[in-house]
């Protein structure tokens, strides 16, 4: 495989060229992959820990795609190996050099086709050797998903009540187990539904074109796969981690101009975006 060392897209600045050369070397990507990953503008300057873990996990699966992977996928359908689906092209990956970060808005990071059974899973990749995983990523109250007709609009009043108690606690980060409002099962189920939506189905902008039905946990060496095919299974997964979640209201992703729909969550002048992590 040809590793890019000096020849990059002519539209990139010298500084971006230097960064992409380093990325190409670190992740064994060729020039075509870099252009697909970063586009023609060079606006992306580095991979964060989650993106690095996603690429490493997909490369590991690709390198072993012709192996018996029954122990990984807990299915005899993987005895003949797998194929990985590239969401950008809609085709199976044919080269490890084509593996890069999934497109924006995807809840699934890779499609996995079991050769023997023909079953296909769409997996979200969670890297466990980097920063804590985000479950709800900086979403303000006026996001499309919370508006009338949005998937989570019916839960907005209950989320407002959660934010009200969070506001009373004071610190930036508050653990779910310290929020007494979750003693109310209706409030708790609204939060479970919210986290489940952001984990498997969509973003603040709405439903994802590529929702997830499974999760791959990657620790930098080993891959653990678990499917969550039904809505009940997805919700049970979220609820099993409930006491580990930490919420905050942050300024990241807030618009410059606030409207009335934002204000119920706004703290201070700029904080108003819900963020939940493990």
Boundaries of domain holding 272:
134-206+242-277
Tens digits of per-residue pLDDT, 188-227? 999 999 999 999 999 999 999 999 999 999 998 899 999 9
Shared domain check, 165 and 267: yes
For the entire predicted model, the pTM comes to 0.81
Q: Is the pLDDT of residue 274 over 90?
A: yes
Point out the domain boundary residue: 46, 64, 80: 46
Q: Is the pLDDT of residue 244 over 90?
A: yes
Residue 261 lies in a domain: yes
Residue 164 lies in a domain: yes
Shared domain check, 141 and 19: no
Shared domain check, 146 and 26: no
Residue 2 lies in a domain: yes
Burial bucket for residue 89 (CB in 10 Å: 0-12, 13-18, 19+): exposed
Tens digits of per-residue pLDDT, 22-48? 544 444 444 444 444 443 333 334 778
pLDDT of residue 103: 86
Shared domain check, 267 and 140: yes
Shared domain check, 264 and 141: yes
**Residue of 56, 51, 61, 79 whose CA lies nearest to 225:** 61
pLDDT of residue 50: 83
- Write b or e for each residue in 121-152: b if 16 or more Cβ atoms lie within 10 A of its Cβ, otherwise e: bbbbbbbeebeebebbbbbbbbbbbbeeebbb
**Residue of 132, 136, 112 whose CA lies nearest to 124:** 112
Shared domain check, 152 and 30: no
Residue 119 lies in a domain: no
Q: Phi first, then psi: what are they for 99, rounded to 5°?
A: -85, 120
The SS3 call for residue 110 is strand
Residue 195 lies in a domain: yes
Shared domain check, 152 and 35: no
Determine the distance from the C-alpha atom of residue 255 to the mean position of all C-alpha atoms in its chain, rounded to a whole number: 22
Number of domains forming the structure of the chain: 2
Look up residue 1 and give its DSSP letter.
Answer: -
pLDDT of residue 29: 46
Shared domain check, 248 and 146: yes
């Amino acid at each position: 495989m040809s590793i890019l060392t000096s020849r990059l897209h002519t539209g990139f600045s010298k500084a971006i060229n230097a960064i992409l050369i380093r990325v190409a070397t670190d992740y064994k990507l060729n020039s075509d992959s870099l252009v697909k990953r970063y586009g023609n503008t060079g606006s992306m300057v580095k991979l964060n820990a989650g993106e690095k873990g996603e690429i490493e996990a997909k490369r590991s699966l690709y390198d072993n795609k012709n192996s018996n992977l029954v122990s990984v996928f807990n299915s005899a359908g993987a005895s003949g190996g797998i194929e990985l689906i590239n969401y950008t092209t809609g085709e199976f990956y044919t080269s490890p050099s084509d593996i890069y970060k999934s497109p924006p808005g995807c809840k699934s990071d890779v499609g996995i086709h079991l050769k023997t059974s023909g079953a296909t899973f769409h997996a979200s990749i969670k890297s466990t050797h980097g920063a804590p995983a985000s479950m709800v990523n900086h979403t303000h109250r006026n996001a499309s998903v919370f508006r009338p007709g949005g998937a989570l609009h019916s839960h907005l009043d209950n989320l407002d009540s959660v934010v009200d108690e969070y506001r009373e606690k004071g610190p930036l980060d508050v653990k779910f187990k310290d929020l007494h409002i979750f003693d109310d099962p209706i409030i708790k189920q609204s939060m479970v539904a919210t986290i489940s939506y952001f984990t498997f189905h969509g973003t603040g902008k709405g439903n994802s074109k590529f929702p997830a039905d499974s999760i791959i946990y990657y620790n930098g060496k080993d891959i653990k796969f678990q499917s969550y095919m039904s809505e009940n299974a997805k919700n049970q997964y979220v609820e099993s981690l409930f006491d580990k979640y930490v919420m905050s209201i942050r300024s990241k992703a807030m618009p410059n101009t606030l409207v009335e729909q934002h204000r119920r969550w706004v703290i201070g002048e700029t904080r108003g975006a819900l963020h939940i992590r493990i």
